[in-house]
Structure 1
Amino acid sequence: MKYDIASRKDIEILVNEFYSKIKKDEQIGFIFSDIAMVNWEKHLPIMYDFFENMLFYTGSYTGNPMELHKHVNRLLPLTEIHFRQWNHLFSTTVDELFEGTTANLVKQRAKSIAAVMQNKILKESSSADRIF
């Protein structure tokens, strides 16, 4: 039986399963392994903090995800397809593991954050491509 996200342990389960899917994904896995060259040992605890703060306002995350994603975009221009696949994998993972108000909230907030990042990053890429 599924239950709602209620603790950091639940977030760790979600994040671990989500990134397990990311690593295997043909559309975006290479971005993490070959382009960003993510150190998973360091990255996963940061993501636990990020999502814990997003849901429970713990103050455990203080980074700037926009700048990190802009850096990746400079290495490999990201597309709407990349963002869509990230969101699909995230929402699917949440739905496979959890149900309830907080599960729905994390999907909504992740989708909103991804939309803002997509808008800013793709707009920045488009502006950089213009010749003045």
Structure 2
Amino acid sequence: MKDIETIDDIKRLVDTFYQTVQKDELIGPVFNTVVQDRWPEHLEKMYRFWQSILLNEPSYSGKPFPPHQKLDIYQKHFDHWVNLFENTVSQLFVGKNANEAIKRAKLMGALFGAKHAHLREK
């Protein structure tokens, strides 16, 4: 196996991951309800997001949390997303960028879960 090194690697990761997500019993319905028939646009945004982070090629602009802010999701959803992502990365890649992808996913899962919990307390 090789590391995540190119935009084609990013696309392979993102496409494989979201194929799994769409069929997943816990988070699939959330994604399919929100994304609906706009999967190509969502995937393109995710390519740019991970390209910016892992390849240091700034192509994503935006704030990742706001689209998730009003969803009825909990820490278990974020934890499950992280597990699926980590499994996908580990099945496809090995190396510095693969490790960084997993690290960033875990950070996002924890941060988004904490933000959701904070918003519920208000």
Q: Where on the TM-score scale, by shorter chain, does this alignment land: which range?
A: over 0.9
> 2: CA distance between counterparts of 1:37 and 1:112?
23
Give the equivalent residue in structure 1 for 2:31.
Answer: 32
Residue 53 of structure 1: aligned partner? 52
Q: Does 1:113 align with 2:113?
A: no
Q: CA deviation at 1:64?
A: 1.3
For normalisation by structure 2, the TM-score amounts to 0.94
> What does 1:40-119 correspond to in 2, within 5 Å?
40-71=39-70, 73=71, 77-119=72-114
Displacement over 3 Å in runs of 4+: none
The code of the aligned residue for 2:35 comes to M
Question: Whose Rg is larger?
Answer: 1
Taking the aligned partners of 2:87 and 2:65, their CA distance within structure 1 comes to 23
Structure 1 unmatched runs, 5+: 128-132
Identity of paired residues, percent? 36
Tell me how large the CA RMSD over aligned residues is.
1.0
TM value normalised by structure 1: 0.87
